[in-house]
């Protein structure tokens, strides 16, 4: 579901996404990580984190997303980013939830172009 084109997913890609769940007790580690995050970052949510980044001097923020992302849809992003008009969203055609893995070269060249503007 995370890939824009399932035919581009190799066996090694599929296995790599399973690695975190092969260790005994992985779910307890994940719950502990989340608990510490919640204890140390009270009143911090995605919106406030984005705003903190955007408020930094000489800092720009861009979101590169695959237009075939079925995990975080365009409408979900549009709703979230409405409060961040300075934020630029670049869509990569044919890629899914992990565009940085779906087409590494295109992702890097797109980001590279954006950084030189």
Cα dihedral 97, 98, 102, 104, rounded to 10, equals 150
Q: At 66, is the pLDDT very low, low, confident or very high (cuts 50, 70, 90)?
A: very high
Is residue 98 classed exposed, middle or buried when 0-12, 13-18 and 19+ CB atoms within 10 A define those classes? middle
Q: What is the mean pLDDT of residues 63-84?
A: 91
pLDDT of res. 86 = 77
pLDDT of res. 20 = 64
Counts of helices then strands in the chain (DSSP H, E): 6, 2
pLDDT single digits (tens) 17-41: 776 666 677 777 778 877 777 777 6
Rounded CA-CA distance 94/60 in Å is 25
Give residue for tokens 């409405």: 82
For residue 110, pLDDT beyond 80: yes
pTM, rounded to two decimals: 0.67
Q: At 92, is the pLDDT very low, low, confident or very high (cuts 50, 70, 90)?
A: very high
For residue 9, pLDDT beyond 90: no
CATH superfamily to which 45-117 belongs: Alpha/Beta hydrolase fold, catalytic domain (3.40.50.1820)
Break the chain into its structural domains and give their ranges: 10-42, 45-117
Going by the DSSP 8-state scheme, the letter that residue 1 receives in this structure is -
Q: What is the mean pLDDT of residues 11-17?
A: 76
Rounded CA-CA distance 57/22 in Å is 42
Residue 77 parent element (H or E) = helix 74-81
Going by the DSSP 8-state scheme, the letter that residue 98 receives in this structure is -
For residue 106, pLDDT beyond 90: yes
């Amino acid at each position: 579901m995370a890939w824009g084109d399932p035919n581009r997913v190799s066996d090694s890609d599929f296995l790599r996404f399973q690695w975190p769940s092969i260790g005994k007790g992985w779910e307890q580690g994940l719950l502990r990580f989340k608990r510490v995050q919640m204890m140390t970052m009270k009143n911090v949510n995605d919106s406030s984190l984005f705003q903190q980044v955007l408020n930094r001097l000489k800092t720009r923020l861009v979101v590169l997303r695959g237009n075939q992302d079925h995990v975080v849809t365009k409408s979900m992003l549009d709703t979230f980013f409405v409060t961040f008009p300075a934020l630029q969203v670049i869509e990569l055609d044919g890629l899914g939830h992990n565009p940085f893995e779906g087409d590494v070269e295109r992702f890097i060249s797109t980001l590279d172009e954006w950084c030189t503007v």
